[in-house]
Structure 1
Amino acid sequence: MRFKVFKNTVLLFVLLVISCAGKVENKKHEEKMRKNTSTALSVNENENDKAIIVGANRTASYLPLLQGKRVGVVSNQTSVIKVERKSSGLKNSEASGIEIKTIRYEHIVDSLLKLNINIKKVFSPEHGFRGTADAGENVKDGVDTKTQLPIFSLHGKHKKPTKQQLEDLDIIVFDIQDVGVRFYTYISTLHYVMEACAENNVPLLILDRPNPNGNYVDGPVLEKVHSSFLGMHPIPLVHGMTIGEYAKMINGEAWLNNGVKCNITIVDMENYTHQSSYSLPIRPSPNLPNDQSILLYPSLGLFEGTNINAGRGTEFQFQRYGAPFLDKTYYTFNYTPKPNFGSKNPKHRNEVCYGVDLSNVQAKRQFTLKYVIDAYNRATDKSKVFNTANFTIHAGTAKLQQQIESGLSEAEIKASWKSDLAIYNKIRSKYLIYN
C-alpha cells in the first residue's frame, strides 16, 4: 500500500493512528487479521492499480468451472476480491479538495461460499491462512473460525497435499499473491500443489495476480545441487513472472516429479503488463508491510542468509539493515530489534544494531548487491557476516559469497550471471501471458 504525506490535519491524524496501531502487542495484531477476511482500507489509489483487474475478480470467467464441484482452495490473507469502492469527500479548505477512497475487499473463500460454491477445505502456505505465522514457522492444521472449514497446512508436517486430502475434491483453486523472488516460498507451494493435482488427476484453477517485481529478471540462477524449499528450480533470484506464468513454466519444463503434467486453467488479468506498477492492498506476509519493503525485498532478502538483521523485530522490516558487529564509528543510524508481530525471535534481539535506514529512500524496481557488499565491507569482524550454508541456499549458489569475500565489485559479479540469465530469458519468453 502506498501512503503519501499530506499537509493537512485530517490526514496527519490518520497517519498517527496507523503508526500507533503498528505498535500494539502481537496478540492484538493476530486477532485483527483473524477477525474478518473482509478488509476495508483507506488509500489514494494509483491509476495503474485501478486499471488492473486481477484473476479473482473475473468471477464470470471461472464460476462455471466450480459450480456443482467439490472445491479445495489454496489461499492466504492476500486471496481477496475487490467488491466495492466508495469516495468520502474532504472538500474543504483544510483538506484541499482531497478525496479518500475506501475500498472493500472480501476473501475469495467468503465470496465463493456466498455464491453457493461447495468448498470442502482450505490449504494454507507459509505464514498460515491468516498470514500471522513467522517466516519458516511450522503451521499446524486447524479449522477456520469464521467458516468452520478445515484448514490443511502446506508449511508444517506436509509441504504437499496428500492423496487422502484430495480424494473428495473435484478441483482446486490456487489464489495467492507472490512478490517475484525465488526464495519467497509461495512458488514452491505452487509446485507441490501442481504435483499433487497431477498425480491424483485433480484439475487446478489458478487465479493470477500481478508481480510487483515483475518488470525485470536478475540475480544468480539456482544451481540444482542447492535446491530446497527456498528454491526448487533453475531460475534467477528475481524471476519476472506471475504465478500463472510460472505454473506454465513448471509444466512446460517438466519440473514436476517424474515429468507429470498438471491440468491447469489460468484466469489471467486484464490491463496488466510486466511494466505495470502495482501497490499491494494487503501485506503478502507479516514482514512485508508496504511497497517500500516489497521493492527492497529482492536485495535485502539475501540478508536472511547472513547474521545481519534486515529489520525484523522493528516496524520497518526489509527497509533497514544492521548488526552489533557493523562499524558504529561509520554508521550514524542504529536500532534495537525486539519481538513483535511476525518475528518472535529476531536476529540480535535486544541488541543495538548499527547500519542503514532505507525507509525513506526512493526504492527502485531493481535488484542490487550494494547493501550486502556494504555490510560485509563495514563489518568489524567479517567472519561473523555470513551464515554460509543458509546464504548459499538463499543465493542458490556458493559462488556469490566467495565473490563478495574476494572483493569483486557488483558489476563484476553481475557480469558472471550474464550467460545464465540469457538462457533463462529465452526459456521464460515461452511462457509469458503478459507483455
Structure 2
Amino acid sequence: MVRIRFFLTLAILCHTALSPVSAQTNTRPVKPQKIICGADQTELYINYIKGKNIGMVINQTSVIGKRRMVSVDSLLKRGIAVKKIFGPEHGFRGTASNGAAVNDSTDPATSLPVISLYGKHFKPTADDLKGLDLVIFDIQDVGARFYTYISTLHYVMEACAENNIELMILDRPNPNGYSVDGPVLDTAYKSFVGMHPIPITHGMTIGEYAQMINGEGWLQNREKCRLKIIKVANYNHTLKYVLPVNPSPNLNTNQSVLLYPSLCLFEGTMLSLGRGTMFPFQVVGHPALKGKYSYSFTPVSIAGMSEDPPQKNMVCYGIDLKNYNTQTLRLTGRLNLVWLIALYKVFPDKAHFFNAYFTKLAGNETLRKQIENGETEQQIRQSWEPGLSRFKQTRKKYLLYQ
C-alpha cells in the first residue's frame, strides 16, 4: 500500500512539473523597462561637456530627474560652464502665449543671458554663439510639422554648422511617434510652421529629425551640422509616453497633446479650438453652430495662455473631445479628418470658414479645395500618395529606435 501511494505521488509531481501551468509561470511576460530620456543619462555625456563653454537651447520641458529640475540648473550645480540660454517659442520658462514675440532677457534664477529665438530672429547669430564650444538642444517635441520647436532645431543646426560648433541633442520620446500621416508639405508654402517636405505627423524624435535635416541637405548651402545624440533608453515608436511637463501653455494635458496633430488645422479656420479656456485643443466650436450642437464653451482672455483668443467672450457651440478615446488614433496611426470635414459641411458661412493661415498649416492649397469640393476622407487620403509612402521610406534611414 505504501509503495502504491509512493508511485501515485511521484506521478502527480511529474505531471505538475510538465503541465502548461508551470510552463506559463516560466514564460511570464517581462515588465517593460522604464523609458529614460537622454538628459537623464548624465553619465553618458557629463565628462564630454566638462571644461567646455556651453550654450543650451531649452525651455520648461528640459527637465532632469524625479524632481524635474530644469537641465541648466542641474548642470550648473555640477560645475558645467553654461554660458548662454536660447529660448524657443513661448520662451525659456514657457510662459509666453502662442505667437507672442519674446525678447532677450536675463534669467533671474541663474543670471545667464537668455537669447530669444522667437523674437528679433529665429536663428542664432555669430555673436550669439561667440565663445561657445558646444550647444546642447534639449526640448520636448510633440511630433507635428507645425509645432515650431523643429523649426528652431533647423535654425540652430544651421547656425552651428556655419560657425563650426558641435550640437549635442539630449533626445526625448515623441508622444505621437506612432503616426506618420498627412500631406507632404509643398515647399512653395514653406514657413516657420512648416519648413521641410514632411507630412503633418513625421513619427520621429528630435534626434532622428536632426539626422534627416542633415542627411537630406535641408540646411542652407546643404551644410552639415556636427551632431552628438544622447539616445532615449528603452524606447521605440510604438510605446506610449506621457509628457512629464506641458510642452507649451495650450497643450496642458496628455489629451491635448494627442489630439493636437488632428485639431491644429482648425487654427486655419474661423472656429475656436478652445484657446481662452482651460481645455484648449480638446474642443472645437463657433457661435454660428448654435442649434447644430448642444455642447458649448466661452473663450475668454487668459494671461500666459491666450490673451486674445478667437471668438473671445462669445458662446461657441461644437464638439467636446475631452473624453475622446485617443487609442483610436493610435490603432489607426492616422490623423482624424472627420471632424474638419463634418464641421465644414454644417458651417453656415462656408465662404468664410477657412482663413489664409490654413494653407501654411496644410502645406498646400489642395486640402482646402478638396474639402470645399466635398471630397471624402478616402479621396483626400489617396491624394497624399505616393508622397507619403516615399517619405516613410526616406524616414527609415534616420531612425534611431526601431
TM-score, normalised relative to structure 1: 0.83
**2:16 maps to which residue?**
none
**2:394 maps to which residue?**
427
**1:385 maps to which residue?**
353
**2:373 maps to which residue?**
406
CA distance in 2, matches of 1:305, 1:60: 45
Residue of 77, 89, 102 corresponding to 1:139: 102
SS at match of 1:235: coil
Residue of 279, 286, 295 corresponding to 1:316: 279
CA distance in 2, matches of 1:385, 1:309: 11
**1:17 maps to which residue?**
none
* 1:331 matches 2:299: no
SS at match of 1:205: strand
Structure 2 matches for 1:275-314, cutoff 5 A?
A: 275-314=238-277
Structure 2 matches for 1:116-135, cutoff 5 A?
A: 116-135=79-98
* 1:209 matches 2:172: yes
Residue of 177, 194, 198 corresponding to 2:157: 194
SS at match of 1:234: coil
**1:396 maps to which residue?**
363
Residue of 373, 376, 396 corresponding to 2:344: 376
Structure 2 matches for 1:252-267, cutoff 5 A?
A: 252-267=215-230
CA distance in 2, matches of 1:309, 1:330: 15
Percentage of identical aligned residues? 55
CA distance in 1, matches of 2:74, 2:346: 51
* 1:227 matches 2:190: yes
Structure 2 matches for 1:359-374, cutoff 5 A?
A: 359-363=322-326, 364-365=329-330, 366-374=334-342
Residue of 209, 214, 218 corresponding to 1:251: 214
Q: CA deviation at 1:307?
A: 1.1
Q: CA deviation at 1:211?
A: 0.2
* 1:357 matches 2:320: yes
CA distance in 2, matches of 1:370, 1:339: 29
Gaps of 5+ in 2: 1-30
Q: CA deviation at 1:384?
A: 2.0
**Counterpart of 1:368 in structure 2: which amino acid?**
N
CA distance in 1, matches of 2:105, 2:48: 27
**2:3 maps to which residue?**
none
**2:135 maps to which residue?**
172
**Counterpart of 1:346 in structure 2: which amino acid?**
P
Deviations 1:273-314 (A, max 9, x none): 000100001100000011100110001010111111111000
CA distance in 1, matches of 2:366, 2:48: 47
CA distance in 1, matches of 2:113, 2:270: 38
Q: CA deviation at 1:167?
A: 1.1
More strand by share: 1
CA distance in 2, matches of 1:304, 1:140: 25
Structure 2 matches for 1:38-49, cutoff 5 A?
A: none
**Counterpart of 1:404 in structure 2: which amino acid?**
I
CA distance in 2, matches of 1:286, 1:423: 34
* 1:237 matches 2:204: no
Deviations 1:217-271 (A, max 9, x none): 0001000100000010000010110000000000000100001000000000110
* 1:77 matches 2:39: no
CA distance in 2, matches of 1:244, 1:325: 44
SS at match of 2:343: helix
Gaps of 5+ in 1: 1-46, 85-103
Q: CA deviation at 1:418?
A: 2.4
Query: What RMSD in Å do the two structures reach over aligned CA positions?
Result: 1.0
**Counterpart of 1:377 in structure 2: which amino acid?**
K
Deviations 1:2-21 (A, max 9, x none): xxxxxxxxxxxxxxxxxxxx
CA distance in 1, matches of 2:92, 2:143: 20
CA distance in 2, matches of 1:367, 1:374: 15
Q: CA deviation at 1:374?
A: 1.5
Deviations 1:397-435 (A, max 9, x none): 100000000001111101111211111011100000001
SS at match of 2:399: coil
TM-score, normalised relative to structure 2: 0.90
**Counterpart of 2:338 in structure 1: which amino acid?**
K
**1:95 maps to which residue?**
none
**Counterpart of 1:127 in structure 2: which amino acid?**
H
**What is the total number of aligned residue pairs between the two structures?**
366
Where in structure 1 do 4 or more consecutive aligned residues deviate above 3 Å? none
Which structure: larger Rg? 2
CA distance in 2, matches of 1:176, 1:162: 20
